[in-house]
Amino acid sequence: MADDADVLIVGAGPVGLTLANILGQQGVRTLVVDERATLIDYPRGVGLDDEALRTFQSIGVVEHVLPHTVPNQILRFYDGRRRLLAEMAPPDARFGWPKRNGFVQPMVDAELLRGIDRFDCVEVGWGRAMESCEETRDGVRVAIAGEADPVTARYVVGCDGGRSATRRLMGVTFEGTTSATRWLVVDLASDPLGHPNSEVGADPVRPYASISIAHGIRRFEFMIHADETDEQVERPEFITRMLAPFVPHPDRVEVIRHRVYTHHSRIADAFRKGRMLIAGDAAHLMPVWQGQGYNSGIRDAANLGWKLAAVVKGEAGDGLLDTYDAERRKHARAMIDLSTMVGRVISPTNARVASLRDGLIRAASAVPTLKRYVLEMRFKPMPRYESGAIAHLAAPSDTSPTGTLFIQPRVDTRDAQNVLLDDVIGPGFAVLAWNNDPRALLGDEAIAQWKALGATFLALRPSTQLHWTGHDDSEVTVVGDRTGALKGFFDAHAESVLFLRPDRCIAGACIAQLAPELSAALFDVLHLVKGGKEVHDHVTRPVLHVAQPAAESARTAT
């Protein structure tokens, strides 16, 4: 009997819905189940980054998401006397979108859900809770509460939150810490302040945050002291007292919701076990201070989605899925550590410690390079994969772009002007060459192999050469470097040929003459299939340097 689905996704939150859209684009039979009756309708995450918007662009929903965002949101940090300590206002948009964006999560999640309607191969089942699962030789059998017949799928992905049933059934630990400090979050309609930006108050009397969200919503967060009980915090007069220093008439606000929460810094000791995987909060939890919980989950979906699709469609071997853990867990750990560190800097309630911190921050701000480091958010860990679905033809160097995200400037083609590069590339693999024709470098056989996987081929040129037709190739799209950003990238790197994965990570980079060798190496390391079988023939080629995943440290589980 055929499986009910190729992929069963547990959890219809933003991560599960993004993953379902990616799989739907690739024609993968996908079933999403969620124990809730519908989407959560109150704000949770409040910040989108450029990588998340790029992923939404890739699944064709970004134009529907943008109306629910506040782009280029400035974040200011103040001391206890409301004097400016630091400011984050990153100016560049190297990946095509602003780095900081406020957003209304329920409305964005609803757009992700609507996006699924485009795909006949994707189904969402509300009110269906996973009760148990059993891995078989070639799939997983999942019992749904209240249903007599199990659901069968080739793979199960748990996107079911911090209390993930999928993680528990996988038998992996959830290591880390939970802060003893409680926080009160209050979401207000008809924003009583109205200005577009956000602030964090590193006030030793009571640290706080005030965050502008789209559509007239503002979020306040306040640290709760140890001697303040949950019963006190729940009272309307307590909320009024918290808002009083910031709002002229705190008794006249419209509260959407309020709740008490604690910060978690946790990560699973494995993101994959056999045919079961986890993503988003099921795999990692982090404090809110860098707004990366939501975004890290979207990164998980972007990384895992194309790999699942390639394996299910027979384009890659199952080993490709091991690279998901190798690539994502290290970066998620870095984001957890950064968010935890920022929380510790913000939260001291000892006035002397806070004063020392303020002095150090002001001293650092007096140094232009350090001030830019904070202003432009250069401290944010960017994905740079040292192992996984990437390949080097020689020992990797610090200057190699392999394992990093490629830029997304606006470009011109002969058919369109001022378009984002990813829209030219499309959803799959891509081979990019500066100042060369990819076919001339790779040869017809390699071009045919990549084309069978849906790859596109781009010849990148200065805009002055866009309409020169001397070396035209019907399989290659000529791209004009409208802004100079592409030339700037290749000016900074020796490599002139790039192989891009569907998630826009650079899988491999080399000088032009080595393109055939790198192409062959990538079919190995990506477990890609040509001629109907996975490639492990190890034909004569340069030594392939692929770093092995590093062991991750372990902590305690909940």
The pLDDT, as a whole number, for residue 180 is 78
Span 46-65, pLDDT tens digits: 889 999 999 999 999 999 99
- Answer yes or no: do 168 and 314 share one domain: yes
**In this structure, is residue 139 part of a structural domain?**
yes
Burial of 348 (0-12, 13-18, 19+ CB in 10 A): middle
Span 190-232, pLDDT tens digits: 999 998 888 988 898 999 999 999 999 999 999 999 999 989 9
**In this structure, is residue 244 part of a structural domain?**
no
Pick from 319, 339, 359: which residue ends a domain? 339
The pLDDT, as a whole number, for residue 111 is 98
**In this structure, is residue 230 part of a structural domain?**
no
- Answer yes or no: do 423 and 506 share one domain: yes
- Answer yes or no: do 159 and 303 share one domain: yes
Quick one: average pLDDT of 343-360? 78
- Answer yes or no: do 19 and 163 share one domain: yes
- Answer yes or no: do 425 and 525 share one domain: yes
Q: Alpha helices, DSSP H only, in 208-348? A: 230-234, 236-243, 293-312, 322-346
Pick from 294, 323, 339: which residue ends a domain? 339
Are 44 and 13 in contact by the 8 Å Cβ rule? The answer is: no
- Answer yes or no: do 146 and 21 share one domain: yes
Pick from 339, 368, 400: which residue ends a domain? 339
**In this structure, is residue 372 part of a structural domain?**
no
Q: Number of folded domains in the chain?
A: 2
Are 183 and 222 in contact by the 8 Å Cβ rule? The answer is: yes
Least Cα distance to 117 among 37, 161, 61, 55 occurs for 61
**In this structure, is residue 543 part of a structural domain?**
no
Range of the domain at 299: 5-59+104-174+265-339
Q: Is the pLDDT of residue 354 over 70?
A: yes
DSSP string over 364-413: HHTSHHHHHHHHTTTTSPPPB-SBSS--BSSS--TT--TTBBPP--EEB-
**In this structure, is residue 529 part of a structural domain?**
yes
Indicate the pTM of the whole model. Answer: 0.90
- Answer yes or no: do 315 and 429 share one domain: no
The pLDDT, as a whole number, for residue 92 is 75
- Answer yes or no: do 416 and 326 share one domain: no
- Answer yes or no: do 434 and 316 share one domain: no
Percent of the chain exceeding pLDDT 70 equals: 91
- Answer yes or no: do 415 and 523 share one domain: yes
Q: Which range is least confidently modeled, 272-276, 331-335, 338-342, 367-371?
A: 367-371
Are 95 and 61 in contact by the 8 Å Cβ rule? The answer is: no
- Answer yes or no: do 332 and 432 share one domain: no
The pLDDT, as a whole number, for residue 290 is 62
**In this structure, is residue 392 part of a structural domain?**
no
Percent of the chain exceeding pLDDT 90 equals: 66
- Answer yes or no: do 449 and 331 share one domain: no
**Residue that wins the pLDDT comparison between 111 and 473:** 111
CATH number (domain holding residue 486): 3.40.30.10
**In this structure, is residue 556 part of a structural domain?**
no
The pLDDT, as a whole number, for residue 360 is 77
DSSP string over 121-142: TEEEEET--EEEEEE-SSSEEE
Span 241-276, pLDDT tens digits: 999 999 999 999 999 999 998 888 999 999 999 999
CA distances from residue 510 to 327, 452, 457, 506, 516 in whole angstroms, order as listed:
21, 22, 16, 11, 10
